[in-house]
A and B are shown apart, each in its own frame.
Chain A
Amino acid sequence: MLFNSQIFLFVFLPFTLAGWYYLNYKKHDRLAQGYLTGMSLWFYAYLNLQFLWTMLVSCLAGYVFCRLVLQTTSEKKRKAVFYAGCLFHLGALGYFKYTGFFLENINAVFHTQLPMLRILLPVGISFYTFQQLSYLIDCYKGKAGLCSFLDYLFFIVYFPQILQGPILVHEELIPQLHEKERRRFDPDRFYAGISRFVIGLSKKALLADTLAKAVGFGYDQVERLDSASALFLAVGYLLELYFDFSGYCDMAVGLGKMVGIEIPENFDAPFRSLSVREFWRRWHITLGRFFTKYVYIPLGGSRKGKLRTICNTMIVFLLSGLWHGADWTFVFWGFLHGIGVAASDLTSSFKESVRKVLTFSYVCLAFVFFRASSISEGFLVIGKIFSFRWNGFLLEIAKALDLSEIYVVTKALSMKAPGVLSILSLFLLLLFVSLCLIFLIGPGIRPKKGTAGKKKGHAVLLAVLFVWSVLSLTGVSTFLYFDF
């Protein structure tokens, strides 16, 4: 189930919250937790029931490994169980996510004809695998104790984070389950949760999805790009991705507040970063934390000299690239970020504003490969940016925004003054992107702690934003059946 769907908003969420608070009110703590876990499983299974079984098997096995690691006294056996557990989790991830990629490359390199397997990738597997790995490693290192299976299952399947993270660590979530205070309905916290959720929903439904139409239109016709349109594609896609993913994370954080079992932040104004290194401390924070804690530091971090630090950084970012997707475009994207992080100190003497612009520009260009269908397409887009040519394609991209809210105006113009329509569309596109950039580079709109709902009219504005976002979840498609 998706947060940005009517079934989630009008069926799942009200029933989940009502049941959770009712059972807690009646002091049925374990039952309440079981209910929330059950609803989370429904939330997960709604997309594909088959994925649920894969995930449950993974959780059950993961719990058994943790238990064995904690209960085995012999160090040798503990180590063997630990490695078996890691192998299980990484093997499952590798099988579901990378088999096709692996076979494809074997065939390409060795000119073989190995048959391609059609393996469905379970939703969220990258997230729940890492979360389980982190718990297993912490158990092995003695940083985590044994919890009940219900707590473990809840830690993995808790619905605000199961599909797209944030990647939690056990000490962030499991202790909250035993804090009685959290299970009492707190109107201020609940309102703060709604407020955050609505901001996330509007980022996704009003900004990301609108940008996606224009960006998708451009990426479908890369060969037609000129400098301006290619530049828009690079900036537009990064904005789209940011609003999409950070919007999702805002919704997750908001839901955590509504339930009372809170989850950590995943973004912290990344476009105000002064270097690529700082960018990665502000963008997808929990993934960066995972790689730092479980890969970078065990490899030696920055303690073993400059060359080794660069090496470790590159390993982390190549892995991060591969984690994002089984394709060379993601690996290359990770490589570029690794280079960016390793070279972060080179700009430290520059003025802050220059560093901000340089960081944003570099990240924009690197993310082209995240969206491109191949590395060569990525280079094509970047090449078009620096071709310094104008062919008017940006006007067509601008029209693809197709804002329903101003349909009456655009329809009237298309009949009375079609020439003006292109200019209006371009103006709107530029205005849209400019507002997004101001929004990102500015102080942000996250309310300060405890201020949500205190300002007059806040609730009304929030309701308007909510309804506007709900209306934007469904549209009317054009069915094109033949080529007029």
Chain B
Amino acid sequence: MKALKQFFLVSAALLLAAGGLVVLLDPFYHYHGPLPGLKAVVTKSEYQCIGTIRTFDYDSVLCGSSTAENYNNRWFDRPFGARTIKAIKSSGTTADLCYYLQEAFDTHELKHVFYSLDLFALDADADTNFVNDDMPLYLYDKNPVNDGKYLWNKDVIFKDIPYLLAMNLAGGYDEGTSYNWWEDKTFSKQEALSHYDRRETVSAPLPASVYEPKIDANLDLLVRLITAHPETDFSFLLPPYSMLWWDNAYRNGQLQEYLYARRRLMERLAGYENVKIFDFQGEETILLNLDLYMDPIHFSQKINQRMAEEAAREDSVYLVTEETRETFLLHMEALTERIVTREIKTLFPA
């Protein structure tokens, strides 16, 4: 009996100690924000994003996919007088990002939403978001019973907590760089081309009836958020994909779809008073310069910085207005035509 008691007592003590440590330091910010004196170390979006949205102190959200991860939050904090956090979902669809934004609106009053709007995200299923069995649901649902998977988790205790402490002790960690991945990547024409597996044939364009309802359904999600929160300013930033990406879209038969997505999003979102759209997709100095890319879609951090600076300018040349909208659209149509007929041939002569 003594051994039995000893086993239960020691087990309970160890489990309490392990769980207590996780609750105290909370590396996924499930229970609370960073402890006083500790910086928020945020690197795993699937595990930490939902916690930071629910427990951090902020008034603005920077939302997007991997193309938005390399922003520094401070680039938005300073000019907008905001406290910004990121809501990131890698390869995130509109429904994914709207899930995050809804969580943010449910828990905070938001002054500003900076939304990196990817064209491919408008092509996804608008009814399903990423919160499914493949995700660590114990962090997403509000059921304390399954929190055991977080409290007694070897990786959290042996990896994430030491990493949090090490980043704080080492000093120099910039909280604004949450989810940044650019540091150990190479951006060059050679690198970008090495990640482009060009199709040999050109597919027939998809019929409009296939993609138009999807795009509209995704835009409906955004319109609902915009109209439900007139007090919040929404800035939509359209990231510049490289000419390789546009060539791939053409060869996949999706070029018209993406051009249509651009047109529809500008038509449907630009009319709201609390919305601004900044279109960087037609910036030739960026998308024709492959040295700024690591693959067809992911550009260097410098581009993120430039986009953030432009978003803060009232007179930005990238700001889409009722008057300039058609110019932006026609320019992009002409540019994509030029890319697939001329520019790409400098790289793939045959």
Complex CA distance for A473 and B156, rounded to whole angstroms: 12
Q: How far is the CB of B90 from chain A (nearest CB, A)?
A: 4
Complex CA distance for A275 and B249, rounded to whole angstroms: 62
Complex CA distance for A407 and B160, rounded to whole angstroms: 9
B1 touches A475 (CB 8 A): no
Complex CA distance for A473 and B90, rounded to whole angstroms: 26
A190-B4, A453-B3, A471-B154 as given contacts; A482 in contact with B91, CB under 8 Å: yes
Q: Which of A190, A408, A483 contacts B162 (CB 8 A)?
A: A408
Complex CA distance for A405 and B296, rounded to whole angstroms: 38
Query: Hey, which chain A residues are within 8 Å of B181, CB to CB?
Result: 484
A191-B3, A194-B4 as given contacts; A470 in contact with B15, CB under 8 Å: yes
Binds B, one of A142-150, A288-296, A358-366, A458-466: A458-466
Query: Hey, which chain B residues are within 8 Å of A472, CB to CB?
Result: 154
A464 touches B152 (CB 8 A): no
- From residue 260 to 319 of chain B, which have CB atoms closer than 8 A to chain A? 294-295, 298
Residue of A nearest to B7 (CB): A459
Complex CA distance for A190 and B4, rounded to whole angstroms: 8
Q: Which of A404, A462, A483 contacts B7 (CB 8 A)?
A: A462
Q: Does A388 contact B (CB under 8 A)?
A: no
A467-B18, A472-B154 as given contacts; A10 in contact with B148, CB under 8 Å: yes
Residue of A nearest to B147 (CB): A6
- Per-residue 0/1 for B7-46: is the Cβ within 8 Å of any A Cβ (1 yes, 0 no)? 1111100110010000000000000000000000000101
Q: How far is the CB of A391 from chain B (nearest CB, A)?
A: 23
10 inter-chain pairs at a CB distance below 8 angstroms, sorted by A residue, are A187-B1, A405-B154, A408-B158, A408-B162, A408-B166, A463-B8, A463-B9, A466-B11, A470-B15, A476-B47
Q: Does B159 contact A (CB under 8 A)?
A: yes
Q: How far is the CB of B174 from chain A (nearest CB, A)?
A: 18
Residue of A nearest to B294 (CB): A484
Which 6 A-B pairs have CB atoms at the shortest separation, nearest pair first? A453-B3, A463-B10, A459-B6, A476-B155, A404-B158, A467-B14
Q: How far is the CB of A469 from chain B (nearest CB, A)?
A: 10
B152 touches A470 (CB 8 A): yes
Residue of B nearest to A473 (CB): B152
A466-B11, A482-B90 as given contacts; A475 in contact with B153, CB under 8 Å: yes
Residue numbers of B with Cβ under 8 A of A are 1-4, 6-11, 14-15, 18, 44, 46-47, 66, 90-91, 136, 146, 148-150, 152-160, 162-163, 166, 181, 185, 195, 294-295, 298
Q: Does A481 contact B (CB under 8 A)?
A: yes
Query: Hey, which chain B residues are within 8 Å of A475, CB to CB?
Result: 153-155
Query: Hey, which chain B residues are within 8 Å of A110, CB to CB?
Result: none
B149 touches A467 (CB 8 A): no
Complex CA distance for A326 and B313, rounded to whole angstroms: 66
Query: Hey, which chain B residues are within 8 Å of A190, CB to CB?
Result: 4
B3 touches A459 (CB 8 A): yes
Q: Which of A459, A473, A477 contacts B10 (CB 8 A)?
A: A459
A481 touches B91 (CB 8 A): yes
Most B Cβ at <10 Å: residue of A191, A194, A474: A474
Most A Cβ at <10 Å: residue of B7, B148, B195, B294: B7
B158 touches A474 (CB 8 A): no
Query: Hey, which chain A residues are within 8 Å of B136, CB to CB?
Result: 476-477
Query: Hey, which chain B residues are within 8 Å of A458, CB to CB?
Result: 3
B10 touches A460 (CB 8 A): yes
B7 touches A191 (CB 8 A): yes
Q: Which of B6, B149, B160, B295 contacts A474 (CB 8 A)?
A: B149
Q: How far is the CB of A111 from chain B (nearest CB, A)?
A: 31
Q: How far is the CB of B97 from chain A (nearest CB, A)?
A: 14
Residue numbers of A with Cβ under 8 A of B are 6, 10, 187, 190-191, 194, 404-405, 407-408, 411, 452-454, 458-460, 462-464, 466-467, 470-477, 479, 481-484
Q: Which of A408, A463, A483 contacts B11 (CB 8 A)?
A: A463
Q: How far is the CB of B335 from chain A (nearest CB, A)?
A: 25
Residue of B nearest to A198 (CB): B7
In the complex, the number of residue pairs spanning A and B with C-beta atoms less than 8 Å apart equals 103
Query: Hey, which chain A residues are within 8 Å of B11, CB to CB?
Result: 463, 466-467
Complex CA distance for A473 and B149, rounded to whole angstroms: 8
B153 touches A471 (CB 8 A): yes
Query: Hey, which chain A residues are within 8 Å of B157, CB to CB?
Result: 404, 471
Complex CA distance for A376 and B275, rounded to whole angstroms: 60
A6-B148, A407-B162, A411-B163 as given contacts; A460 in contact with B156, CB under 8 Å: no
Q: Which of B44, B90, B149, B158 contacts A405 (CB 8 A)?
A: B158
Complex CA distance for A454 and B1, rounded to whole angstroms: 11
Complex CA distance for A56 and B149, rounded to whole angstroms: 32
Most A Cβ at <10 Å: residue of B6, B148, B154, B185: B154
B195 touches A471 (CB 8 A): no
Query: Hey, which chain A residues are within 8 Å of B158, CB to CB?
Result: 404-405, 407-408
A467-B18, A482-B91 as given contacts; A453 in contact with B4, CB under 8 Å: yes
Query: Hey, which chain A residues are within 8 Å of B185, CB to CB?
Result: 484
Complex CA distance for A187 and B154, rounded to whole angstroms: 31
B154 touches A404 (CB 8 A): yes
Residue of A nearest to B9 (CB): A463
Query: Hey, which chain A residues are within 8 Å of B4, CB to CB?
Result: 187, 190-191, 194, 453, 459
B155 touches A404 (CB 8 A): yes
Residue of A nearest to B153 (CB): A474
Residue of A nearest to B145 (CB): A11
Complex CA distance for A479 and B3, rounded to whole angstroms: 43
Query: Hey, which chain B residues are within 8 Å of A10, CB to CB?
Result: 148
Q: Which of A6, A463, A467 contacts B6 (CB 8 A)?
A: A463
Query: Hey, which chain B residues are within 8 Å of A459, CB to CB?
Result: 2-4, 6-7, 10
A404-B159, A407-B159, A459-B3 as given contacts; A464 in contact with B91, CB under 8 Å: no
Q: Apart from A470-B152, A475-B153, A482-B91, list 11 A-B contacts with CB within 8 A.
A: A6-B146, A6-B149, A10-B148, A191-B3, A459-B10, A471-B18, A471-B152, A473-B152, A476-B159, A482-B90, A482-B298
Query: Hey, which chain B residues are within 8 Å of A473, CB to CB?
Result: 152
A453-B4, A459-B7, A467-B14 as given contacts; A6 in contact with B152, CB under 8 Å: yes
Complex CA distance for A459 and B8, rounded to whole angstroms: 9
Query: Hey, which chain A residues are within 8 Å of B7, CB to CB?
Result: 191, 194, 459-460, 462-463, 466
Complex CA distance for A191 and B148, rounded to whole angstroms: 25
Q: How far is the CB of A150 from chain B (nearest CB, A)?
A: 30
Q: How far is the CB of A108 from chain B (nearest CB, A)?
A: 32
A479 touches B149 (CB 8 A): no
Complex CA distance for A471 and B160, rounded to whole angstroms: 14
Query: Hey, which chain A residues are within 8 Å of B155, CB to CB?
Result: 404, 474-476
Query: Hey, which chain B residues are within 8 Å of A467, CB to CB?
Result: 11, 14-15, 18, 152
A464 touches B195 (CB 8 A): no
Query: Hey, which chain B residues are within 8 Å of A411, CB to CB?
Result: 162-163, 166
Query: Hey, which chain B residues are within 8 Å of A454, CB to CB?
Result: 3
